[in-house]
Amino acid sequence: KNEVEQSPQNLTAQEGEFITINCSYSVGISALHWLQQHPGGGIVSLFMLSSGKKKHGRLIATINIQEKHSSLHITASHPRDSAVYICAVWLGGSEKLVFGKGTKLTVNP
Amino acid sequence: EPEVTQTPSHQVTQMGQEVILRCVPISNHLYFYWYRQILGQKVEFLVSFYNNEISEKSEIFDDQFSVERPDGSNFTLKIRSTKLEDSAMYFCASSVGPGQGVTYEQYFGPGTRLTVT
């Protein structure tokens, strides 16, 4: 069983739509990363959070430690948001990130 | 803004050859990592490195792999005798502080695509 599960695997939206990507994990963690991977392959860190909510521009990330669940929201989506969004967790007592399989988002104009 | 850099961006090598992938972490960072992503699969942790030694490694990181910080700025991943299954994108990352207890954000390099033929 994967320690980090993301849903959906693929998501297609129209420009302007509100997007939600979900991440559930089954292990104790010290923090959670949301990452963005563009078609060229490079990985960019969007958020790191261990509680509550963070906002950066049109992106909002929330985490519920008790329910072992996090969500990434994109408001007013744009075609340039098209990418793979990856959830990764720091395991408690470990130094490694464990990654989900990613959610491929396509935003059509 | 400081960034992690990696060279080369693409490396093609023959099976059995040694390859060295290079990374320059952000200058005030103390923790360094290598990850790999086989095409179409998720990113996997290989190794973390702190204070000039490996602090944690995965089961993937066997005797064929080694890491080194040869000169205080570069951080390298060596694969001694490459196999076809080593073909993947390799990402270097760095963070400012320790990974246990207090958690610091990791910054990723652009990756090196390794193709073993």
A74-101 residue pLDDT tens: 999 999 999 999 999 988 777 788 999 9
Cα distance between residue A14 and residue A74, in whole Å: 12
- Asked if the C-beta of B52 comes within 8 angstroms of chain A's C-beta atoms, the answer is no
Sorted by sequence, the CB contacts under 8 Å of residue A16 that are 6+ apart come out as A76, A77
Which of A90, A94, A100 comes nearest B42 by C-beta?
A: A100
Residue to substitute from A23, A27, A34, A43, interface B, most B β-carbons within 10 A: A43
Which of A31, A45, A96 comes nearest B45 by C-beta?
A: A96
Band (pLDDT 50/70/90 cuts) for residue B70 is confident
Band (pLDDT 50/70/90 cuts) for residue B54 is very high
Band (pLDDT 50/70/90 cuts) for residue B8 is very high
What token pair was written down for B6? 């990696």
Sorted by sequence, the CB contacts under 8 Å of residue B18 that are 6+ apart come out as B78, B79, B80, B81, B82
List, for chain A, all residue ranges whose pLDDT scores fall below the cut of 70. 1
- Asked if the C-beta of B58 comes within 8 angstroms of chain A's C-beta atoms, the answer is yes
> In this structure, which amino acid lies at residue A33?
H
Cα distance between residue A25 and residue B7, in whole Å: 33
Within chain B, strands assigned E span: 5-7, 10-13, 19-24, 31-37, 44-50, 53-57, 65-68, 75-79, 88-95, 107-108, 112-116
> In this structure, which amino acid lies at residue B77?
L
